[in-house]
């Protein structure tokens, strides 16, 4: 079921719900520049067997209002959009799953509106915390010294399509998925091509907004609130993520009070069909109240 939610005057967000209306709500928050359709249908359908699953388009993506050019906003305000989606759909509390920027926004919800979350699952993201990373040997690493985005990856993401037209744009997006996905798994080009073709058809345009790169990123830190949160949190460690590589998942698990850590071997900064099973199994076990973690907060499998 599709509904548009007005989050402020003149700004509407596209939302879609799947699954039983009386099932526990589960909100999916996707990353920067990504439509809600970035959550693949097959993954959503599996989650919808147990949940009322909600996915939505951020501002300046998909069918939602493209407003940044005339009404700039801060990245932090996108977390309030997620809260407004819950309000608009009449959902008091939800399990929330956030990937990449969606993981950052989920942490803001955990800190600012913990009463709205039944649980949180975070993947392929970084901590909005200044807590140093603790190695197994007892030494610590300041947040500023954790690995950043490699320059070559920045350059690759900025490289334009080879020419005009849909095929050239799809080729550009597939090239990006190749570098964001794990080198440990065979690359499923057909899956990502169909995914991106569907997103372009959904959006009605090949345009990619520059809003997320231009938006003010101030006011994101929630160090104390995350260290004191009571929201049950699962960190899915993307062991092959080139954008936020290890030890970022282990650092995130250390920053969030009580967080549990589960490795997903071969997970990069993408959602390939080969990993739908492990991902949905982990999410559903967590939302059901079980702890499918391999390490409590403050410990890790690898810290190198």
Rounded (10°) CA dihedral 37, 38, 42, 47? -90
Cα 87 from Cα 287, distance rounded (Å): 21
Active site residue 67: no
CB burial class (10 A; 0-12, 13-18, 19+) of residue 304? Answer: exposed
Cα 281 from Cα 266, distance rounded (Å): 16
Q: Which of 100, 182, 209, 293 is an active site residue? A: 100
Active site residue 241: yes
Q: N- to C-terminal Cα distance for the chain?
A: 45
Listed in sequence order, the DSSP H helices in the chain are 41-47, 77-88, 101-112, 151-158, 166-180, 189-203, 211-214, 223-228, 248-255, 276-287
Q: Which of 241, 248, 286, 293 is an active site residue? A: 241
90: left (phi over 0), alpha (psi -120 to 50) or beta: left
Cα 126 from Cα 249, distance rounded (Å): 7
Nearest to 118 by CA among 5, 280, 261, 230: 230
Cα 184 from Cα 241, distance rounded (Å): 10
Q: Which of 95, 251, 269, 286 is an active site residue? A: 269
Cα 71 from Cα 69, distance rounded (Å): 6
Q: Write out the DSSP string of 179-197.
A: HHS-TTS---HHHHHHHHH
Which residues are the active-site residues? Answer: 100, 241, 269
């Amino acid at each position: 079921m599709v509904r548009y939610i007005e989050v402020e005057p003149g700004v509407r967000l596209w939302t879609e719900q799947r699954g039983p209306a009386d099932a526990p709500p589960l909100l999916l928050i996707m990353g920067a520049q990504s439509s809600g359709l970035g959550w693949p249908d097959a993954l959503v359908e599996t989650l919808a067997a147990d949940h009322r699953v909600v996915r939505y388009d951020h501002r300046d993506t998909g069918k939602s209002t493209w407003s940044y050019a005339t009404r700039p906003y801060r990245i932090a305000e996108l977390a309030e959009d997620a809260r407004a989606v819950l309000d608009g759909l009449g959902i008091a509390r939800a399990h929330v799953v956030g990937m990449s920027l969606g993981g950052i926004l989920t942490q803001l919800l955990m800190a600012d509106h913990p009463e709205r979350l039944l649980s949180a699952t975070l993947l392929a993201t970084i901590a909005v915390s200044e807590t140093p990373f603790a190695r197994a040997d007892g030494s610590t690493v300041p947040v500023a010294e954790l690995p950043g985005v490699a320059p070559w990856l920045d350059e690759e993401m900025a490289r334009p399509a080879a020419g005009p037209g849909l095929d050239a744009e799809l080729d550009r997006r597939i090239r990006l998925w190749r570098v964001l996905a794990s080198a440990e798994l065979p690359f499923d080009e057909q899956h990502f091509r169909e995914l991106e073709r569907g997103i372009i058809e959904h959006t009605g345009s090949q345009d990619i907004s520059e809003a997320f790169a231009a938006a003010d990123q101030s006011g994101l830190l929630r160090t104390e609130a995350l260290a004191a949160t009571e929201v049950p949190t699962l960190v899915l460690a993307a062991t092959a993520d080139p954008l936020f590589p290890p030890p970022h998942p282990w650092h995130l698990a250390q920053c969030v009070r009580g967080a549990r850590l589960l490795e997903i071997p071969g997970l990069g900064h993408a959602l390939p069909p080969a990993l739908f099973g492990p991902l949905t199994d982990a999410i559903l076990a967590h939302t059901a109240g079980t702890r499918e973690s391999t390490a409590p907060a403050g410990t890790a499998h690898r810290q190198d």
